[in-house]
Amino acid sequence: MLTNYAPNRSGIYKPDPNCPLADPVATPNPSVMPKTYFQACGLDPFRNCTLIMEKVWRDAGVRTKLDVYP
């Protein structure tokens, strides 16, 4: 169904694999990331990952803002 809306999507997004912005979770040095806003929700299956990632980035010196919703 998605192919009806973006038939050539594989040709559109080709990030540089060495760029930390392409996969921010896997960046070895989070201090290079820009200031970031995180949101986490109580029933979100990635809630704990978001909380951990925000703490790691904050500890690395990245300016972060975190909102947690019940």
Give tens-digit pLDDT for 6-33: 555 666 777 787 777 777 777 888 998 8
Of 19, 30, 20, whose CA–CA distance to 52 is shortest?
A: 30
Cα–Cα distance, 55 to 51 (Å, whole number): 6
pLDDT digits (tens, 9 = 90+) for 35-44: 999 999 989 9
pLDDT at 8: 59
> Residue 66 in contact with residue 54, Cβ under 8 Å?
yes
pTM of the complete model beyond 0.85: no
- Provide the strand spans (E) within 13-69: 36-41, 64-69
